[in-house]
Amino acid sequence: MRCAVDIKLSKDLTEFVRVKVERVGDALAATPTGNQGSGILSSLSRADGLLIGPPAETMLKAGAQATVLLLGAGGGELGVSWGTEEMSFEGRRHKY
């Protein structure tokens, strides 16, 4: 999955960024849902997934490949079948 916008991350922390997932042409794109504070549940309620931000990065640029854990059963609306979506992150391939 690709980042739709630049996503700022904290250095030395693995972050789970709440994202909205949208189909853009033949690809899927992730956009943060807003304030990511630990007490902000509204951004979680709007999220389709959690983008895993690597601890070595401070910014994921728009268009960068990232791993997103899809939440709930909403993947079907995006045309994603569980167990068939391949994603890569930091040179590793993952199957979801």
Distance from C-alpha of 58 to C-alpha of 61, rounded to nearest angstrom: 10
Give the residue-averaged pLDDT of 21-50.
91
Is there a domain that residue 88 lies in?
A: no
Distance from C-alpha of 68 to C-alpha of 30, rounded to nearest angstrom: 8
pLDDT of residue 52: 95
Give the residue-averaged pLDDT of 48-59.
94
Give the residue-averaged pLDDT of 12-23.
94
Is there a domain that residue 93 lies in?
A: no
pLDDT of residue 7: 96
Please tell me whether the overall predicted TM-score, pTM, comes out greater than 0.95 for this model. no
CATH of the domain at 6: 2.40.340.10
Please say if the pLDDT value at position 93 is more than 60: no
How does DSSP assign 70-93, residue by residue? E-TTGGGGGT--TTT-EEEETTEE
Is there a domain that residue 92 lies in?
A: no
Distance from C-alpha of 45 to C-alpha of 42, rounded to nearest angstrom: 5
